[in-house]
Amino acid sequence: MNFVSSLLEALESLTSNKVRTALTMLGIIIGVGAVIAMLAIGNGTEQAIVGEIEGIGTNLLFVMTNREDVTNPEPLTIRDAEAIADPIYAPSVSAAAPVIQGQAELTAGGNVATTGLVGVTEEYRVVQNVELSEGEFFTGTQITGLASAVILGTNVAEDLFGRSDGLIGETVRVSGQPFRVVGILKKKGGSEFGNSPDDQILVPLTTAQTRLLPRTTKNQVDLIYVSAIDADSVQQAEDQISLILRDRHKIKLGEDDFNIISQEMFLDMASTVTGVFTVFLGGVAGISLLVGGIGIMNIMLVSVTERTKEIGLRKAVGAKKKDILTQFLIESSLLSVIGGIIGIILGWLLSLGIGRIAAASDFILTPAITINSVLLATLFSAAVGLFFGIYPANRASQLEPIEALRSE
Amino acid sequence: MTEWVVEAKDITKVYQMGEIEVHALRGLSVNIAPGEIVSIMGPSGSGKSTLMNILGCLDRPTSGEYSLNGEAVAELNDDQLAEIRNRGVGFVFQSFNLLPRATALANVELPMRYAVLNGRNRKKVATEALEAVGLGDRIHHRPNELSGGEMQRVAIARALVNNPAIIMADEPTGNLDSKSGDEIMTLLKNLNKDRGTTLIIVTHDPEIAELTDRVISIRDGRIAE
């Protein structure tokens, strides 16, 4: 019995009861579709988050005070940042940008807005890759001279003035003090982490320290952004920063009173989280595929019972056990493979749809259908068809020819 | 030894029906020569169908020796029996037993599909077989488009397509009107004459039995003399 004719016969048998075949396939279609869509969304989410983190810059390090493990940490200062930026002690560091962060109430022309405020130095521009849609970034004299200058995020500008251009030279009151607008940040769009630069304002670090966000220690900063000279030097830069800060903070033993967080740690964290997420979604979808497989087994058992007489006749004219076995296995595999192919298309459409919905709600998610997930779904559905076909097919092949012939 | 197509000696068959043992055949011997037309007669329950199943290798005897075409069948496994049925025996059933969704041609091709030699000219051989039974113009019809007599002709074409030594017919005219029945009997007799195929017909109809060379009467699992 050659394979092509067996295949044709199986197809004919499946098309002879179209409604039943369609309903049986539906289980597999939904199962495979769900697996494909869920994996695509999981992968898409991971890529979106990774992209977001990498967008900040892969060679970026965050240095902050360790308040959890140390009771009386020495705060970070501008001097620490200057030491970190020293090319002799830290050759792997290209720039260090100390900042202080807080909230401020802004008023302009009767409009009030509460925004995030960041006190920055010139290095901030390099480290954070700041781009302005108009105006100029703070100059060295503005920063050392405690200038009352402010750079607005686009959303802040919209809130205060109803527009985000032609605002250079306007006056904004920050915590009641008049500041002159010197620049507008370029719009960055939605951010998964909530604190988009669109909703922030920048002021010179010295101005923030002395007049807006006073800190207990002189020259104290909240956070130092450090950029390594390249992505490969991040680890060396981290080691050099540790050495410098331990020396400056006089730490010989025990916990450091600062933490250095690298982009890689964020990436690791994010991919762990999204990995769990993907496995979870895929698992739930896999269960529905399993249920689809049980549907196949059910229908194949019904089919064997219905066709007992046919099986008897085939055996009478010379069909061997393996002929009957392959006949039913081909039918069940065909059911699941065709269902699987339709399911892949459905899953693809589904993930496209979900991507659209996500985009509409400002969450950039491009569902990623990988070759792996397609292969996984195809192989899994074929395996489901084979596995759940074995029992009914085996039952058919074991029938005694005379008893099968005698049945009605 | 090979002068008989069918050589059965002291065949018994015991069925276990729950607690009770049913003796369907109680030591029955029968020899049939090549080219013979034999009818097996007997009332229902006499064991004639059981005998036919054993002679046709659909079933194994409980004890006794049976050789088909000189080949001892007792030692063979299920797959070897299937091969013997495929090559050596053609079946014609009372209820035709055609595949309902397949055309006459596909039905006739079926035994060839399970044959060891998977001939390329299956379609040609099947068409010739259908022509031989007078259905040359019906080869693409499905069973539900054929009359009872035509369906039985398809079944006969299917039975002879692998050139078996024996055709076993179990009440071949039982579901047909007398005119179609006569036609089927004529056809079977002609096949016997043209091809020399041995014909074993199980029937309870004395008129059919009269058309055969020899009548084997069975009663209570034994040959009734």
Mean pLDDT of all residues in A91-117 = 89
In this prediction, residues A284-307 reach a mean pLDDT of 89
In A, minimum Cα distance to B160 occurs at A317
Give how many domains chain B has, as a whole number: 1
Measure in Å the smallest separation between the Cα of B118 and chain A Cα atoms: 7
Residue A240 has pLDDT above 80, yes or no: yes
And the tokens for A25?
A: 């396939």
Q: CB distance from B142 to chain A under 8 Å?
A: no
**Which of B51, B85, B118, B175 is the best mutation test for A, with the most CBs of A within 10 A?**
B85
Residue A188 confidence (pLDDT) above 80: no
Report residue A22 as tokens. Answer: 């369609």
Sign of the dihedral defined by the CA atoms of residues A82, A87, A90, A96, in that order: positive
A321–B114 C-beta distance less than 8 A: no
What pLDDT is stored for residue B120 in this prediction?
A: 66
- In this structure, what CATH number is given to the domain that contains residue B127? 3.40.50.300
| 3-class DSSP state of B191 | helix
Name the closest residue on chain A to residue B108, using Cα atoms: A317
Contact flag B91-A316 (C-beta cutoff 8 Å): yes
Least confident interval from A133-142, A183-192, A353-362, B149-158: A183-192
Burial string for A58-90 (b: 16+ CB within 10 Å, else e) reads bbbbbbebeeeebeebbbbbbebbebbbeeeeb
Residue A223: CA atoms inside 13 Å, Cβ hemisphere, count? 14
CA distance A28 to chain B (A): 26
Tell me: the pLDDT tens digits for A317-339?
A: 999 999 999 999 999 999 999 99
Task: Report percent pLDDT > 90 for chain A.
Answer: 26
| B76 contacts in chain A (CB < 8 Å) | none
Region A217-230: mean pLDDT is: 88
Distance from CA of A331 to the nearest CA of B (A): 16
Cα(B152)–Cα(B173) distance, integer angstroms: 8
In a domain, B1, yes or no: no
Higher per-residue confidence, A46 vs A394: A394
Amino acid at A263: Q
pLDDT at B1: 45
For chain A, the distance separating the N- and C-terminal CA atoms, rounded to the nearest angstrom, is 27
Record the tokens describing residue A352, joined without a space: 């496209």
Ranges of residues in chain B whose predicted pLDDT is under 50 = 1
Assigned domain for B120 exists: yes
Residue of higher predicted confidence among A90 and A267 = A90
Which range marks the domain in which residue B108 is found?
6-223
Which of A313, A317, A330 has the most B C-beta neighbours within 10 Å, making it the best mutation to test the interface with B?
A317
User: Above 0.85 for ipTM, yes or no?
Assistant: yes
- Confidence at residue A1, expressed as pLDDT on a 0 to 100 scale: 52
At A32-76, the pLDDT tens digits run 898 888 888 888 888 888 777 777 667 888 898 887 777 778 889
The answer to whether residue B74 sits within a structural domain is yes
Selecting from A309, A312, A317 the residue whose C-beta is nearest the C-beta of B158 gives: A317
Give B217→chain A minimum CA distance, Å. 22
* Six token digits for residue A100: 């202080």
Partner residues linked to A183 by β-bridges: A135, A151
Window 183-222 of B, Cβ < 8 Å to A: none
Which of A314, A316, A320 is the closest to B79 by Cβ?
A: A320
Q: How confident is the prediction for chain A on average, in pLDDT?
A: 86
Q: How many CB pairs under 8 A join A and B?
A: 59
Mean pLDDT of A260-274: 82
**Closest CA–CA distance from residue B14 to any residue of chain A (Å):** 15
Residue A222 CA to residue A103 CA, distance in Å, equals: 13
User: Which residues in chain A are contacts of B59 at CB distance < 8 A?
Assistant: 401-402
Is position B28 within any domain?
yes
